[in-house]
Copies of this chain bind each other. A is one copy, B any other.
Amino acid sequence: MHRTKVKIVEEALDANNTIARANRDDFERAGVKVVNFMSAPGAGKTALLERVVDQLPGVRVGVLEGDVQGSMDADRLATLHVPVTQLNTDPSFGGECHLDANMVRTALPDLPLDEIDLLVIENVGNLVCPAEFRVGEDARIMVSAVTEGEEKPLKYPLMFRACELVLINKIDLLPHLDFDLDRFLHNLDAVHPGVERMLVSARTGEGVEQWRDWLARLGSGVQVPV
C-alpha cells in the first residue's frame, strides 16, 4: 500500500510539472515574470504585498490571490489599483490547502497578461503542500515571521528549500519576543545553505526597500539568481 501511494503521489507531481511548464511557456510568451509567494497563515504575505505592488518603477504588477475561501486579501490589494484575480480552492477544487499548476491554468484566461510585467501568485497559507507544486513561476519567495519561532526551517525543510528568497517578517516585534535570530539563521542555512534572506517589517516598512528592488529586478527582466 505504501508503494502504491508513493507511485500515485509521484504521478500526480509529474502531471503537475507538465502543466506548470505549459503555464510557464504562456507566461514567457506574454513577457510576464511570475513569483510564487508562500508562507504559513498570518505570516504577512498580503501586508508585504501592500508595501510594494504599486511601487515598482516601470514594472506593472498583477496579483493572483489564492485562498480556500473568500476574497479578503484580494479586496485589500485591489484598493491599490493593481489588477487582482481571485482563485478559491473551495468549492471548485475540493478546498485544497495549496495551489497547483492546473488551478493556475484555469485562472489564465482571467489574467490581464498583456497589461502586466510581473505576476505575484499569493499561495494558500500553508508550510507543507504549496512547496510541492510548481505552478509555472520564475521564482519562489517564502515568508517566515519571527513570531513563528526559530525551528521552522527544521520542521518544514521542503518549504525553506523550495524558494530563492526568504523574507523574515515582523522584525519590529523582536524586542518583545524570545526569538533567537542567529539560531533561526543557523537553522535556515542547515536546510538551504546561503539562500538569500531579508529582514523586513511589513508594519514599519523596515527592510521593505530591498525586497522591492529584488522584485523590480525580476519584473524588469534582470536575471535574479534562481
Interface residues of A (CB under 8 A from B): 2, 5-6, 9, 40-42, 67-70, 72, 92-97, 124-129, 132, 145, 147-149, 151-152, 154-158, 170, 173, 176-178, 203
Contact = CB atoms under 8 A, between A and B. Distances in A.
A40 B125 CA distance: 9
B6 A94 contact: yes
Contact of A128 (B6, B9, B92, B95): B95
Contacts of A148: 41-42
Contacts of A5: 93-94
Contacts of A72: 151, 154-155
A178 B69 CA distance: 24
The interface residues of chain A, by DSSP majority, are classed as loop
B94 A42 contact: no
Given A97-B129, A126-B128, A147-B170, A92 B2 contact: yes
Contacts of A151: 72
Contacts of A170: 147
Given A40-B42, A148-B41, A173-B176, A68 B155 contact: yes
